[in-house]
Structure 1
Amino acid sequence: MQLSVIILNYNVRYFLELCVLSVQSALTNIDSEIIVVDNNSDDDSCEMIKTRFPTIKLIENKENVGFPKGNNIGVDQANGEYICILNPDTVVAEDTFIKVLAFAEKQQNLGIVGCKFIDGSGNFLPECKRGTPTPWVAFTKIMGLHKLFPNSRIFGKYYAQHLSENETGKVDILVGAFMLMKRNLYQELGGFDEDCFMYSDDFDLSYRVLQTARSNYYFPETTIIHYKGESTVKDGAYMKRFQEAMQFFYKKHFKVYPLFTLFMKTGSYFFSFSKRVQGQSIIKKNPKSYLLYSLDEELVKKLTVILQKKVSFHNLKTEKMVISSPYRSAKEVEIILDNEFISFKEYIAILESSENKGLTFKILPKNANFLIGSNNSNERGEIIKME
Structure 2
Amino acid sequence: MSKKVAIAILNWNGIYWLEKFLPSILKYSFDADIYVIDNASTDASVDLLKSNFPTVKIIINDKNYGFAGGYNEGLKNIQAEYYCLLNSDVEVTDNWIQPIISLFEKNKNIAAIQPKILAYHNKIHFEFAGAAGGMIDNLGYPYCRGRVFDDVEEDKGQYNDESEIFWASGCCFFIRSKDFWDQNGFDARFFAHQEEIDLCWRLRNTERKIFYTHLSTVYHVGGGTLNKKSAQKTFLNIRNNLSMMLKNLPFPSLVWLIFFRLCLDGVAGIFFWYKYDFSHLWAVIRGHFGFYAQLPGTWKLRQKKQDQKFYQSKWLIFKHFL
Q: Same fold (TM over 0.5)?
A: yes
Residue number in structure 1 paired with 2:35: 35
- Displacement of 1:262 in angstroms is 2.1
Structure 2 residue 280 is matched with structure 1 residue 246: no
CA distance change for structure 1 residues 272 and 225 in 2, over 3 Å: closer, same or farther? farther
Q: 1:24 aligns with which of 26, 33, 36?
A: 26
Q: 2:135 aligns with which of 131, 137, 150?
A: 131
1:239-283, Cα deviation, whole Å (9 max, x unpaired):
222211112212222313463142243256468779969xxxxxx
For the aligned residue pairs, the C-alpha RMSD in angstroms reads 2.8
Q: How does 1:44-55 map to 2 (within 5 A)?
A: 44-55=44-55
The worse-fitting range, judged by mean Cα deviation, of 15-24 and 198-207 is 15-24
- Displacement of 1:217 in angstroms is 0.7
Give, in whole Å, the separation in 2 of the partners of 1:272 and 1:115: 31
Give, in whole Å, the separation in 1 of the partners of 2:276 and 2:171: 20
Structure 2 residue 218 is matched with structure 1 residue 216: no
Gaps of 5+ in 1: 151-158, 278-387
- Displacement of 1:146 in angstroms is 5.7
CA distance change for structure 1 residues 269 and 58 in 2, over 3 Å: closer, same or farther? farther
CA distance change for structure 1 residues 251 and 78 in 2, over 3 Å: closer, same or farther? same
In the alignment, is the contact (CA less than 8 A) between 1:111 and 1:210 conserved in 2? no
In the alignment, is the contact (CA less than 8 A) between 2:190 and 2:236 conserved in 1? no
Residue number in structure 1 paired with 2:309: none
In the alignment, is the contact (CA less than 8 A) between 1:243 and 1:268 conserved in 2? no
Residue number in structure 2 paired with 1:173: 167
Relative to the length of structure 1, the TM-score reads 0.61
In the alignment, is the contact (CA less than 8 A) between 1:114 and 1:217 conserved in 2? yes
Give, in whole Å, the separation in 1 of the partners of 2:176 and 2:158: 26
Q: How does 1:33-182 map to 2 (within 5 A)?
A: 33-119=33-119, 120-122=121-123, 123-125=125-127, 127-128=130-131, 129-135=133-139, 138=141, 164-182=158-176
Which structure has the larger Rg over C-alpha atoms? 1
Report the secondary structure of 2:97's partner residue: helix
Give, in whole Å, the separation in 1 of the partners of 2:34 and 2:102: 19
CA distance change for structure 1 residues 236 and 146 in 2, over 3 Å: closer, same or farther? closer
Give the residue type in structure 1 aligned to 2:116.
Answer: K
Give, in whole Å, the separation in 2 of the partners of 1:228 and 1:271: 23
Q: 1:183 aligns with which of 177, 183, 201?
A: 177
CA distance change for structure 1 residues 84 and 268 in 2, over 3 Å: closer, same or farther? farther
Give, in whole Å, the separation in 2 of the partners of 1:17 and 1:212: 40
Give, in whole Å, the separation in 2 of the partners of 1:198 and 1:66: 6
Give, in whole Å, the separation in 2 of the partners of 1:226 and 1:244: 25
1:299-328, Cα deviation, whole Å (9 max, x unpaired):
xxxxxxxxxxxxxxxxxxxxxxxxxxxxxx
In the alignment, is the contact (CA less than 8 A) between 1:235 and 1:276 conserved in 2? no
Report the secondary structure of 1:46's partner residue: helix
Give, in whole Å, the separation in 1 of the partners of 2:16 and 2:74: 21
Give, in whole Å, the separation in 1 of the partners of 2:59 and 2:85: 15
Give, in whole Å, the separation in 2 of the partners of 1:230 and 1:90: 10
Give, in whole Å, the separation in 1 of the partners of 2:36 and 2:6: 10
CA distance change for structure 1 residues 270 and 101 in 2, over 3 Å: closer, same or farther? farther
In the alignment, is the contact (CA less than 8 A) between 2:61 and 2:74 conserved in 1? no
- Percent identity of equivalent pairs: 24
1:88-127, Cα deviation, whole Å (9 max, x unpaired):
1101112101222122211131111101111122121263
Give the residue type in structure 1 aligned to 2:5.
Answer: L
The worse-fitting range, judged by mean Cα deviation, of 233-242 and 181-190 is 233-242
- Displacement of 1:19 in angstroms is 2.8
Residue number in structure 1 paired with 2:186: 192
Structure 2 residue 224 is matched with structure 1 residue 230: yes
In the alignment, is the contact (CA less than 8 A) between 2:167 and 2:201 conserved in 1? yes
Aligned residues: 257
In the alignment, is the contact (CA less than 8 A) between 1:96 and 1:222 conserved in 2? yes
In the alignment, is the contact (CA less than 8 A) between 1:132 and 1:207 conserved in 2? no
Report the secondary structure of 1:101's partner residue: helix
Give, in whole Å, the separation in 2 of the partners of 1:268 and 1:203: 21
CA distance change for structure 1 residues 232 and 146 in 2, over 3 Å: closer, same or farther? closer
Give, in whole Å, the separation in 1 of the partners of 2:270 and 2:170: 23
1:343-377, Cα deviation, whole Å (9 max, x unpaired):
xxxxxxxxxxxxxxxxxxxxxxxxxxxxxxxxxxx
Report the secondary structure of 1:35's partner residue: strand
